[in-house]
């Protein structure tokens, strides 16, 4: 029997030109692809692939099914948008392995598991904006689906005190509309009113929009589930139509 393989790949933020050759080769060699509906949709028309689309909240079940199919000898892809290691499917796959029953552990033992990186949304957004993440920064998922809101608020507060630039993923969703509003309240307490806040929506797609505003003008409804928010550090500046964070940090 062929050894099965599970390859966890990042399709990048949307533009096909932002997929790596490594991921393209894995797609060509696969027999099956699992993922959230809109990511599986990106492989529609590839006749060599059996597509297994599932809903957003089905990550653990999807990972188990993919491991089972790989254990049967198939070459299985697990699709994420962006990079699979940044708030995406790679952690879900390892969680399932970690929680496996002895019977599952035995079944999945021979599966070859590989993670292949992709262009994550914040780096695509940063490139379109200029270089807002050109100095130290942090990356925070604003969804309180899997962590307490108090942890998120504390992280944003400490990140502001450390003067990190910040990238926010999942600033809000239909079921979790409060994420960005809560983050904004912390920023308003910790940062000066002129702090630059960047909204990158549908980055790299035909309907991409980019907006940059001082914190004082930011409203809670400016981010939706397709937006990555990048908050500058105290040194982040505009030059022409671009936003960047200098490489140097002054002495205190």
Q: Which stretch binds a copy of itself (CB under 8 A): 71-79, 207-215, 219-227, 241-249?
A: 241-249
Least separation, in Å, of the C-beta of 132 and a copy of itself?
8
Nearer to a copy of itself, 37 or 249 (CB): 249
Contacts of 221 (CB under 8 A, 6+ apart): none
CA end-to-end span of the chain, whole Å? 64
Nearer to a copy of itself, 25 or 216 (CB): 25
Residues 3-42 that bind a copy of itself (CB under 8 A): 12, 15-22, 25
Among 193, 214, 219, 249, binds a copy of itself (CB under 8 A): 249
Residues 54-93 that bind a copy of itself (CB under 8 A): 59, 83-88, 90-93
Structure-block tokens of residue 159? 């990140």
Nearer to a copy of itself, 87 or 199 (CB): 87
Alpha-carbon distance 215 to 165, whole Å? 13
Alpha-carbon distance 26 to 40, whole Å? 14
Nearer to a copy of itself, 60 or 221 (CB): 60
Structure-block tokens of residue 129? 């904006």
Least separation, in Å, of the C-beta of 174 and a copy of itself?
19
Nearer to a copy of itself, 45 or 240 (CB): 240
- The 8 Å CB, 24+ separation contacts for 171-179 are 171/142, 171/223, 171/224, 171/225, 171/227, 171/228, 171/229, 172/142, 172/223, 172/224, 172/225, 173/143, 173/225, 174/225, 175/145, 176/143, 176/144, 176/145, 178/144, 178/149, 179/142, 179/143, 179/144, 179/152
**Using alpha carbons only, what angle is made at residue 153 by residues 151 and 157, rounded to the nearest 5 degrees?**
115
Among 49, 70, 159, 223, binds a copy of itself (CB under 8 A): 159
Number of residues engaging a copy of itself in binding (CB under 8 A): 74
Residues 93-152 that bind a copy of itself (CB under 8 A): 93-95, 97-98, 113, 115-120, 123-124, 126-128, 130-141, 146-148, 150-151
Nearer to a copy of itself, 50 or 226 (CB): 226
Residues 180-199 that bind a copy of itself (CB under 8 A): none
Nearer to a copy of itself, 155 or 195 (CB): 155
Residues 207-236 that bind a copy of itself (CB under 8 A): none
- Full DSSP string of 130-141: EETTSSSEEEEE
């Amino acid at each position: 029997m062929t050894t099965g393989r599970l390859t966890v790949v990042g399709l990048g933020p949307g533009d096909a030109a932002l997929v790596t050759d490594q991921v393209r080769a894995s797609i060509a060699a696969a027999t099956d692809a699992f993922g959230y509906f809109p990511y599986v949709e990106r492989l529609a028309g590839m006749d060599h692939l059996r597509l297994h689309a599932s809903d957003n909240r089905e990550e653990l079940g999807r990972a188990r099914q993919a491991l089972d199919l790989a254990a049967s000898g198939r070459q299985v892809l697990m699709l994420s948008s962006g990079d699979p290691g940044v708030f995406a499917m790679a952690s879900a796959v390892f969680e399932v392995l970690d929680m496996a029953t002895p019977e599952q552990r035995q079944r999945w033992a021979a599966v070859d598991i590989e993670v292949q990186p992709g262009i994550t949304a914040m780096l695509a957004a940063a490139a379109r904006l200029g270089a807002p993440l050109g100095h130290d920064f942090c990356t925070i998922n604003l969804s309180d689906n899997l962590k307490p809101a108090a942890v998120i608020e504390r992280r944003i507060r400490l990140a502001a005190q450390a003067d990190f630039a910040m990238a926010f993923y999942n600033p809000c969703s239909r079921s979790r509309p409060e994420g960005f509003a809560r983050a904004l309240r912390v920023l308003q307490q910790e940062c000066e009113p002129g702090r630059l806040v960047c909204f990158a929506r549908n980055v790299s797609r035909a309907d991409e929009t980019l907006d940059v505003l001082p914190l004082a003008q930011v409203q809670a409804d400016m981010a939706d589930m397709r937006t990555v928010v990048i908050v500058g550090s105290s040194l982040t500046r505009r030059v022409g139509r671009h936003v960047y964070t200098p490489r140097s940090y002054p002495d205190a």
